Amino acid sequence: MSIAEAILLTCITAATPLLLAAIGELVVERSGVLNLGVEGMMIMGAATGIAVAILTGSSALGVLAAIGAGMALATLFALMTLGLAVNQVASGLALTIFGLGLSGVIGAPFVGVQREGIGKIDIPVLSDIPFIGRVFFEQDPFVYLSFMLVGGVWWFLTRSKSGLILRACGENHASAHALGYPVLKIRFMAVLFGGACAGLAGAYLSLVYTPFWTSGMTAGRGWIALAIVVFASWLPWRAALGAYLFGGLTILQLHAQGFGVPVPSQLLAALPYLLTIVVLVVIMRVRRGGAAGPGSLGIPFVPDR
């Protein structure tokens, strides 16, 4: 395997959990809900997924459990923000703290327990193509699923009636409600979808990326996924671009250390998070003359008030 091929493969691996979490949060925010609990849902998915996979011996059940854990936390968030109209920022932060703590309890018995990771899908003939074969046609199921999610979400938001209604709820929930659309129900389904994607991203971390459990293994990826949504201007294909950009930076610091680049390892490790801050600052400066996000993003909706 060439060095370029190895670097590209590791970039795809690092970008996949970011893309899965970001594409789910993108749908949530397009519905008008701001969920800052992505990190908590991801870590719960990672802990629950590895725990169920070890106890049952089935990775498939582990993935389903991870999705269920993400959706369970998303339901809790929805009950607070949609049912009780609690502040979405505070609820999301509380959800992250809760998820980090509960995941530590769930994963404690499985610290250091090794499990065989989920294998790759080898597409015959195409995987034999030099260079691009292994990069694009010999990947694990999560990578292919992330590609399909990007295409599916793009089609849903831009070509389907349901997607246009969801976007209407995010742009102006009062007008959508006046037209007879069930704003709270639509937002609830969007929040559940975001939770499922975050749980799936967590399952990728504990069952594929590093097939074992360690406390705090998400390492801020949920926050980077939130930044990617803003970076992408709430567009799915840009979210994919952002995920691979940030994933590439994560891997860059590892390869830089391997090549002996004379830069402190601590600075290289902090590079993806520093770039996150820089990108958000630049985006806000560029867009100060016009808003890019959904008009009702983060604003609680109470019918007939």
What SS3 string covers 86-144? CCHHHHHHHHHHHHHHHHHHHHHHHECCCCCCCCCEECCCHHHCCCHHHHHHEECHHHH
pLDDT of residue 289: 47
pLDDT of residue 286: 66
pLDDT of residue 287: 62
**Relative orientation angle of helices 3-30 and 221-231, to the nearest 10 degrees:** 70
Listed by start position, the domains of the chain span 3-221
pTM of the model: 0.90
Give the position of tokens 């993108």. Answer: 26
- 211-222 pLDDT, tens digit per residue, is 888 888 998 899
Query: Rounded to whole angstroms, how far apart are CA atoms 284 and 53?
Result: 42
pLDDT of residue 220: 87
Query: Rounded to whole angstroms, how far apart are CA atoms 112 and 279?
Result: 36
pLDDT of residue 290: 47
* DSSP 8-state code for residue 301: -
- Asked whether 286 and 161 are in contact (CB, 8 A), the reply is no
Query: Rounded to whole angstroms, how far apart are CA atoms 89 and 71?
Result: 18
Mean pLDDT by 10 residues, the chain (305 residues): 75 92 96 95 96 92 96 96 93 95 92 79 73 77 93 96 95 92 96 97 92 87 91 90 86 69 71 74 64 82 77
